[in-house]
Amino acid sequence: MRELFQKQLEQLHTLLIEMGALCEQVIERTYLVLMAEDKKAAAEIMEKDEIIDMKEREIEDLCLKILLQQQPVASDLRRVSAALKMITDMERIGDQASDIAEIIKTSNLKAPAKEIRLNEMAKATMQMVKESIDSFVKQDLEIAQKVIKDDDIVDNLFLDVRGQIASGLTDDLVSREEQLDLLMIAKYYERIGDHATNIAEWVEFSILGQHVEEE
């Protein structure tokens, strides 16, 4: 019984790493699409988002199976319930990457994105997602807490981008409709930052055994 349990936990760990890697990949591709380096990456994002959705179901089923068969306690229970929560955030990251791809694939927003530093925002978010997954894989509290702190950077970048669009910085580059698209893309990145933060908070919970409330 204990042996099966260990095997199931390892399987869960592997699946989460796979799902996390997919999240990293889709975010990275949004950047490539945004910077017009790779237009066909948009289609790949949609495909990978579907795989992310399937992984979520698979992990959910495994977690429920573990809960029912093994009735884990203490740190094992925390690990399984943290997994159940994390996958919701990972799934949303996939969705939001798809939303970004959907907006960009028809228009060329590279120049205005650079002008308002949306490219920097994309990079900062990419980093956060990467590190949140990393903190889980390595069960590393320090990395998790860095991610939680970095969310402020992305939040501030969002306000910058918004201010720059409002001030008319992109007026000569793109239509007003496209300016609103830029704002939406920025908002999606900001949300992705929130989800990376949530993942890091679940890692923290799983290690420390409690939710750490923000001041």
Q: Tell me the site size for a copy of itself, rule CB under 8 A.
A: 26
Spatial distance between the Cα atoms of 22 and 93, rounded to a whole number of angstroms: 10
Which of 11, 88, 107, 119 is close enough to bind a copy of itself by CB under 8 A? 88
Which of 111, 163, 209, 212 is close enough to bind a copy of itself by CB under 8 A? 163
Tell me whether residue 110 or residue 187 sits nearer to a copy of itself (CB atom). 187
Tell me whether residue 21 or residue 180 sits nearer to a copy of itself (CB atom). 180
Which of 64, 111, 208, 212 is close enough to bind a copy of itself by CB under 8 A? 64
Task: Say which amino acid occupies 91.
Answer: E
Binding status of residue 74 toward a copy of itself by CB under 8 A:
no
Q: Which of 184, 164, 191 is nearest to 34 (CA)?
A: 184
Q: Which of 86, 198, 191, 186 is nearest to 147 (CA)?
A: 198
Which of 17, 54, 111, 184 is close enough to bind a copy of itself by CB under 8 A? 184
Burial (CB < 10 A; 0-12, 13-18, 19+), residue 104, is buried
> What Cα–Cα distance (Å) separates residue 70 from each residue in 80, 82, 115?
11, 16, 54
Shortest distance (Å) from residue 7 CB to a copy of itself: 20
Binding status of residue 168 toward a copy of itself by CB under 8 A:
yes
Spatial distance between the Cα atoms of 157 and 116, rounded to a whole number of angstroms: 10
Binding status of residue 51 toward a copy of itself by CB under 8 A:
no
Spatial distance between the Cα atoms of 71 and 61, rounded to a whole number of angstroms: 15
Binding status of residue 139 toward a copy of itself by CB under 8 A:
no
Q: Which of 105, 122, 199 is nearest to 158 (CA)?
A: 122
Shortest distance (Å) from residue 145 CB to a copy of itself: 21
Is 23 within 8 Å of 94 (Cβ atoms)?
Answer: yes
Binding status of residue 177 toward a copy of itself by CB under 8 A:
yes
Binding status of residue 169 toward a copy of itself by CB under 8 A:
no
Positions in the binding site for a copy of itself (CB under 8 A): 57, 60, 64, 67-68, 71, 77, 81, 84-85, 88, 162-163, 165-168, 175-177, 179-180, 183-184, 187, 211
